[in-house]
Amino acid sequence: MTFSEKMRDMMNKGMAASRDIVSKAASQAQTWGEMGVLRVEILQLRSQAEKLTAQLGAEAYAALAERKEDSLSAEAPEVKDLLSRIADLDKLVLEKEAAFRKLGGKESDLDREGPGA
């Protein structure tokens, strides 16, 4: 093999390795992007669930303290609707968290402050 053939061979191998690295980097960037979207969605869903839980607490307070009812049933229309909406959000959060972990995310990455905060 001549010197020029060796150089051409080396250049071709180098370019192939560069393409492989760029391909892997693009794939990783896409994964990180998907994880970022999932993280935002999870935090938003958790926030919505917290707001509904606060509404549930306000409804319980209104029924027991303000209206002087003896008890509060999970079948009361206002309570039943809130419980159903909270359960739906919890299910969505679990699904999104599973997808996040499948991409390599950790539970600590889902803290409100985020990593490094």
Question: Is-above-0.85 flag for pTM?
Answer: no
Residue pLDDT, tens place only, 23-81: 778 888 888 999 999 999 999 999 999 999 999 999 999 999 999 999 999 999 999 99
In a domain, 117, yes or no: no
Cα 43 to Cα 13, 35, 50, 112: the distances in Å are 45, 12, 10, 7
In a domain, 47, yes or no: yes
In a domain, 114, yes or no: no
Contact call for residues 89 and 52 (beta carbons, < 8 A): yes
With CA atoms as reference, report the closest residue to 100 among 46, 48, 53, 24.
Answer: 46
pLDDT at 55: 97
Domain hosting residue 44, numbered range? 9-104
In a domain, 111, yes or no: no
In a domain, 89, yes or no: yes
Query: For the chain, what is the domain count?
Result: 1
Lowest mean pLDDT among 37-41, 68-72, 89-93, 110-114: 110-114
